[in-house]
Structure 1
Amino acid sequence: MGAVLGAGHQAGEVLVPVLIGVVIDRAVAGSDAGSLGVWLGVLAAVYVGLALSFRFGAWSAEQAGVEADHALRVSLVRRVLHPRGGAEDGRLPGELANVTTEDSRRVGAAAMALTFGTAALLGIAVCAVVLLRTSVLLGLLVLLGTPVLMWLGHLLSKPLEARSETEQERAAHASAVAADLVAGLRVLKGIGGESAAIDRYRATSRDSLRATLRAARAQAFQRGMVLTLTGVLIAVVALVGGRLAVDGSISLGQLVSAVGLTVFLIGPLEVLAQVNAELAQGRASAARIAAVLAAPHAVPDGDRGLPQPVRGGVRLRGVRHGGLDGVDLDVAPGELLGVVATDPAHATALLRCLARHADPEQGAVELDGVPLSELDPGALREAVLVAHHDADLFEGTVRDNVTASATDPADSRAAGVGAEAAMEAAGVTRDLRALPEGDGTRVSERGRSLSGGQRQRVALARALAADRPVLVVHDPTTAVDAVTEARIASGIREIRKSRTTVLVTTSPTLLAVTDRVALLDGGRVVDTAHHSVLVGRHETYRTAVLA
């Protein structure tokens, strides 16, 4: 619609100098007042038509661009959040945010530019037809000169496309570094690393600035050269038209029309130059978007649904992945199992396999006898929740964060009961007394308005409120005191009664309430027994847990 209405506007613009030429030939030259009034009325009607066409055509083009931008952002967010993962590999969160916002905007702008470019081409075509009717030579100049001008403009846009891609990459990297530094601001202040962080960001920002300036210079050069070439074409058309008028080949009105049409050509030709620039930048951004959308998934899709009902039995058979060396482990339905890993990297590898963020290189992880690799990752999340100790909170209230992953957060009554029990078990209830509005207290981005211990307890309450058949929790009490940790340990055991729970931790307080503990040493499960038994039986265990 934007292209059609834009073409109507361009056709109206072409008719204006033509009608002025008609007025001169039929009314002014012949001193016909009646004819003058009629043609001025026609001219006024054309003005109204072209004004309305421009208004609604521009509105339609803008809407097309915004909708394209929105559709791309939705597709990118859907890909980044896909249960099978993979889009984030090798990319910092800040870079993904830049692709989702700035690159999508540029591609949306290219979609909008296409509507204006189409209208400009149709305007030039109408102008050429009118000039052909006036003079074949003038028409041929426009018809042959415009494609040459567009081809030269395309060639001149190639350096801009390359530099625009570099500009976007450097800008995305600068955004990613900034987001990374802000996320670790407290740590940087704690170790006195502010100066090094500032130097790092300054260097990254300067690289981005240099890339932006190079792209700006390329854009200025491209536009300047296209404008120069456009001026040459218009000057040639005007010169040829003037000679034809002198020779008597065309009338005075036709000369005025030809000059007016030549001046009109400046507009659509400049639009085409801008469209070339927009498309060059849009192509660079589109390539970055395509790279994210086409990123391979971290794990293949599964075609089996969850076993019904989900009992919660978990079994690892000969699992080899990221340092794990043939792990064999059985977790009975409803069991509270502790896992102590002497190497933190092995704990991380185990969590990735249980969450199916990655499939084992060898062996299998099973849920109630069904390999996780055969299950749909999205469906798996409904049965197995892996809660990392560094999980982020979101903007909103404390209660919003706790109920974010509840089974039915839409049911406020059911979610509320779960939330109360989860907050009590995680030790959040005591924190609420110190907060200004209790569980209605607003939480800032990533929970930075809360202390480290409060953030950790709210994240644990969120995991407990989800009420999944299988819950895997990683070091949930590293930022709490001993008394609170003892209460949380009892709370977890009570609220997860009859539900399968795996605590990956080295906290003796948490391990003491488990049914049994698996010792993961050297990438293998070397022993399983109750916490008190392992303390007396293994020096390695005592070192990992009590040292």
Structure 2
Amino acid sequence: MSTSSPSGRDVLRESIRGQRRDVGVGALLGSGHQIGEALVPVLIGVAIDQAVTDSDTGALLVCLGVLAVGYVALALSFRFGAMAGERAAARAEHTLRISLVRRILDPGGGAEEGRLPGALANIATEDAKRVGAVNMALMAGISALTGILTCAVVLLRMSLTLGLVVLLGTPVLLWLGHLLSKPLEHRSEAEQERAAHASAVAADLVTGLRILKGIGGESAAIARYRTTSRDSLGATLKAARAQAFQSGVVLALTGFLIAAVALVGGRLAAQGSISLGELVSAVGLALFLLGPLETLSWVNAELAQGRASATRIAEVVATPATITAGERSLSQPVRGAVRLDGVRHGGLRGVDLDVAPGELLGVVATDPAHAGDLLRCLARRTDPDTGTVALDGMSLRDLDPAELRTAMLVADHDADLFAGTVRENVTAAAPDGADPEQAMAAAGVTQVAQTLPDGEHTPVGERGHSLSGGQRQRVALARALAAERPVLVVHDPTTAVDAVTEARIAAGLREIRKGRTTILVTTSPALLSVTDRVVLLDEGRVTDTAPHAELIQRHEAYRTAVLA
């Protein structure tokens, strides 16, 4: 988008400007088609006056030959004009979708706030498609207006009265069509909002299907979706009724205009002001007008829906980023020294913490919410309310989030897997040419692969649902290890694995991360036992730091968090 905070009009304008070449070519060819269509009744009238009335066989054959050539030209211009219009619509839709995905994935975040993934998916598909279709509608509208103008010019040459009927009646029809499109625009926006919400709820229910079955919540889930779907259906029907009303009224008014042209033409022919051939031409042109005027009615509807969808797209693109990018760059190589100084955010109350380069540090939070607050600050999904988080002496606020994530990876407890094989998931963030075998062995994925039909090449399904919870955790951990970041922060990576496997993973993790900074935010005794030291985060503050065994002896709160 050309502006940092685009409006719906900006989205439409950019969508059309980016495809102006195809829209122009399509409009030119479409206009040629409409001009040809308008001239067909004229040629027929000429044939009647010069060939049929005078019984001139030669003139009749010439007229028929001209009509044949004209129809070939009409077919070709329509075909290639429509192709250019469809290409413009498809490319604009693709460009919008890329812009939306880029904004949603922007390291600064913010686009997903207050929106379910299903709603964002609906905007990136249906709304982008409707805005892209505006290019086709614009091309068709220009062509239709050219056809109407041609019809008016021909009728003016026949009779000033006939030409004025068309020239004065068409603007009135266009104005009424624009007025009638306003309710459709509002209802179309509501329709898309409801449809997006229904898609979001459906995606949410499918994601948690196993949990719903486990707790017996299917009935409540079905009732929730039925209500949402019924609301979406109601909004869709209202939009359909508005579109039908607009189309019906415009069609009726178009019929009146055509009847007026035919009536005036008939009276002029009866008075001898125009010939029989010109009367036939006038009636044919009146019937021809039905096509362009119906097209303009459709264009009005498409523009109304496109404006509503463009507004929704603009809202996502214009969402302010949660964090802003700094202008400084990390010094290379990254040593991995992490420091928190007086950090206050959420439940954190002035956290001070130093992590030495290459240290394996455990963090135990007695309140899980405080662990989440710490992880968000370390990942720079948000900035602390006060205090600083620094990497190698440089505040994270001064760094670009995208560059930061090339040096520091925060692996969430509930990290999703992607559709693909086990190996493809592990290597998703690995450096080019890196061998993931060591990471897979350290995380226990090698053992997982041995139990799968195609080993590490077994598809994991959408979000890894074909794997068990423990298998998903191990693949996600292997992916984090294979990324080989100088600083790795891992949150509860082994909550779904057995004790033997957990101990093996703890040893493998310490070995593979030797010499690189690693922070384990966990309450797992097996993982904490292999750390260099552990920080106890109690009531939002760092209350002690020592090896795991010593903290068990010192603090009741630590024992409760780790051993309960």
TM-score range, shorter chain: over 0.9
Match for 1:322: what amino acid?
Answer: G
Spell out, residue by residue over 1:401-458, the C-alpha distance to the aligned partner (whole angstroms, 9 max, x if none): 00000022xx2xxx2x2x1000110011111111111111111000001011000000
Cα distance in 2 between the residues matched to 1:118 and 1:293: 30
Equivalent in the alignment of 2:76 = 52
SS at match of 1:442: coil
Alignment partner for residue 23 of structure 1, among 38, 42, 47? Answer: 47
Equivalent in the alignment of 1:257 = 281
Moved over 3 A (4+): none
In the alignment, is residue 293 of structure 1 matched against residue 317 of structure 2?
yes
Equivalent in the alignment of 1:536 = 553
Cα distance in 2 between the residues matched to 1:464 and 1:325: 31
Cα distance in 2 between the residues matched to 1:148 and 1:343: 68
In the alignment, is residue 154 of structure 1 matched against residue 171 of structure 2?
no
Cα distance in 2 between the residues matched to 1:478 and 1:15: 77
Equivalent in the alignment of 1:108 = 132
Alignment partner for residue 404 of structure 1, among 428, 449, 474? Answer: 428
Equivalent in the alignment of 1:97 = 121
Match for 1:480: what amino acid?
Answer: V
Match for 1:476: what amino acid?
Answer: P
**Could you say what the CA RMSD is over the residues aligned between the two structures, in angstroms?**
0.8
Cα distance in 2 between the residues matched to 1:524 and 1:151: 67
Match for 2:440: what amino acid?
Answer: M
In the alignment, is residue 394 of structure 1 matched against residue 411 of structure 2?
no
Query: What are the equivalent positions in structure 2 for 1:400-479 lying under 5 Å apart?
Result: 400-408=424-432, 411=433, 415=434, 417=435, 419-479=436-496
Q: Any conservation in 2 of the 1:15–1:46 contact (CA below 8 Å)? A: no
**Residue 191 of structure 1, CA deviation:** 1.1
Cα distance in 1 between the residues matched to 2:155 and 2:532: 91
Alignment partner for residue 221 of structure 2, among 170, 194, 197? Answer: 197
Equivalent in the alignment of 1:378 = 402
Match for 2:137: what amino acid?
Answer: A
Alignment partner for residue 253 of structure 2, among 229, 235, 259? Answer: 229
SS at match of 2:78: helix
Alignment partner for residue 302 of structure 2, among 246, 271, 278? Answer: 278
SS at match of 1:340: strand
SS at match of 1:472: strand
**Residue 144 of structure 1, CA deviation:** 1.2
Structure 1 gap ranges (5+): none
Cα distance in 2 between the residues matched to 1:281 and 1:365: 46
In the alignment, is residue 346 of structure 1 matched against residue 370 of structure 2?
yes
In the alignment, is residue 514 of structure 1 matched against residue 543 of structure 2?
no
**Residue 55 of structure 1, CA deviation:** 0.7
Match for 2:544: what amino acid?
Answer: D
Query: What are the equivalent positions in structure 2 for 1:310-321 lying under 5 Å apart?
Result: 310-321=334-345
Spell out, residue by residue over 1:375-416, the C-alpha distance to the aligned partner (whole angstroms, 9 max, x if none): 0111111000000011010111100000000022xx2xxx2x
Alignment partner for residue 41 of structure 1, among 54, 65, 73? Answer: 65
Cα distance in 2 between the residues matched to 1:325 and 1:145: 73
Match for 1:314: what amino acid?
Answer: V
Match for 1:383: what amino acid?
Answer: A
Equivalent in the alignment of 1:360 = 384
Spell out, residue by residue over 1:444-502, the C-alpha distance to the aligned partner (whole angstroms, 9 max, x if none): 00000101100000000000000000000000000000000000000110000000000
Alignment partner for residue 10 of structure 1, among 12, 31, 34? Answer: 34
Cα distance in 1 between the residues matched to 2:224 and 2:311: 28
**Residue 86 of structure 1, CA deviation:** 0.8
**Residue 304 of structure 1, CA deviation:** 1.1
Cα distance in 2 between the residues matched to 1:247 and 1:523: 97
Spell out, residue by residue over 1:54-79, the C-alpha distance to the aligned partner (whole angstroms, 9 max, x if none): 01111111111111111111111111
Spell out, residue by residue over 1:192-227, the C-alpha distance to the aligned partner (whole angstroms, 9 max, x if none): 111111111111111111111111111111110110
**Residue 20 of structure 1, CA deviation:** 0.5
Q: Any conservation in 2 of the 1:80–1:88 contact (CA below 8 Å)? A: yes
Cα distance in 2 between the residues matched to 1:181 and 1:306: 42
Equivalent in the alignment of 2:269 = 245
**Residue 161 of structure 1, CA deviation:** 0.8
SS at match of 1:503: strand
Alignment partner for residue 81 of structure 1, among 101, 105, 112? Answer: 105
Alignment partner for residue 507 of structure 2, among 490, 509, 514? Answer: 490
Cα distance in 2 between the residues matched to 1:476 and 1:152: 63
SS at match of 2:519: strand
Cα distance in 2 between the residues matched to 1:23 and 1:293: 58
Match for 2:442: what amino acid?
Answer: A
SS at match of 2:440: helix
Match for 1:210: what amino acid?
Answer: G
SS at match of 1:506: coil
TM-score, length of structure 1 as denominator length: 0.98
Equivalent in the alignment of 1:505 = 522
Q: Any conservation in 2 of the 1:453–1:480 contact (CA below 8 Å)? A: yes
- Identity, in percent, stands at 74
Cα distance in 2 between the residues matched to 1:99 and 1:320: 36
Cα distance in 2 between the residues matched to 1:112 and 1:522: 60
SS at match of 2:351: strand
Spell out, residue by residue over 1:45-101, the C-alpha distance to the aligned partner (whole angstroms, 9 max, x if none): 111111110011111111111111111111111111111111101000000000001
In the alignment, is residue 335 of structure 1 matched against residue 352 of structure 2?
no
Match for 1:474: what amino acid?
Answer: H
**Residue 539 of structure 1, CA deviation:** 0.8
Match for 1:522: what amino acid?
Answer: E
Report the count of equivalent residues.
540
Match for 1:319: what amino acid?
Answer: V
SS at match of 1:382: helix
Cα distance in 2 between the residues matched to 1:263 and 1:252: 17
SS at match of 1:443: coil
Cα distance in 2 between the residues matched to 1:237 and 1:540: 91
SS at match of 1:396: coil
Cα distance in 1 between the residues matched to 2:106 and 2:358: 29
Cα distance in 2 between the residues matched to 1:194 and 1:33: 80
TM-score, length of structure 2 as denominator length: 0.95
Structure 2 gap ranges (5+): 1-24
SS at match of 1:486: helix
Cα distance in 1 between the residues matched to 2:452 and 2:98: 36
Cα distance in 1 between the residues matched to 2:320 and 2:146: 42
SS at match of 2:326: coil
Equivalent in the alignment of 1:545 = 562
